[in-house]
């Protein structure tokens, strides 16, 4: 666990969870700090995806929801791909809880995987197949 100005950051197996006791701006800073330092996989807790996409050359996103069975099936595969490509931020966005982040890729089905390059949506795929995710990721090369 890391502590920063009343913010507890828990990191385990490549993911981080944020507990903020102050304001949302500080929480956003912590997410930004860890992504800039190449944290390979992060589950967003705030609608900050636009800022992260703008601040990173490449970003890969899985949109899911807690009730989505296929999202739960794909999450470990997404994390594995993140672990193999630690120079690119991989983000999990709960599409039900973070509507502004969901709008960036015009998500209408789950799970949806999206790739962003230089602040713009490049492509997305709605699939429960690891091969589709890998093919999408290869478009960033």
> At a CB cut-off of 8 Å and minimum separation 6, what does 25 contact?
none
Q: Which of 68, 93, 95, 98 is catalytic?
A: 68
Task: Let me know if 20 is a catalytic residue.
Answer: no
Task: Let me know if 28 is a catalytic residue.
Answer: no
The pTM of this model reads: 0.74
Over the stretch 24-46, which tens digit does the pLDDT of each residue have? Answer: 555 555 555 554 444 578 999 99
Over the stretch 63-86, which tens digit does the pLDDT of each residue have? Answer: 999 999 999 999 999 999 999 998
> Can you read off the two tokens belonging to residue 19?
């507990």
Q: Which of 20, 52, 71, 105 is catalytic?
A: 71
């Amino acid at each position: 666990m890391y502590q920063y100005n009343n913010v507890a950051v828990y990191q385990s197996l490549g993911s981080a969870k944020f507990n903020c006791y102050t304001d949302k701006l500080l929480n956003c800073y912590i997410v930004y700090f860890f992504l800039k330092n190449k944290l390979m996989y992060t589950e967003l807790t705030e609608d900050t995806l636009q800022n992260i996409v703008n601040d990173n050359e490449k970003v890969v996103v899985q949109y899911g929801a807690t009730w989505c069975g296929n999202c739960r099936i794909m999450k470990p595969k997404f994390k594995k791909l993140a672990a193999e490509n630690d120079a690119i931020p991989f983000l999990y966005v709960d599409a039900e809880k973070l509507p502004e982040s969901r709008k960036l890729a015009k998500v209408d089905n789950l799970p949806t995987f999206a790739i962003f390059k230089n602040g713009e949506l490049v492509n997305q795929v709605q699939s429960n197949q690891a091969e589709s995710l890998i093919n999408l990721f290869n478009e960033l090369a």
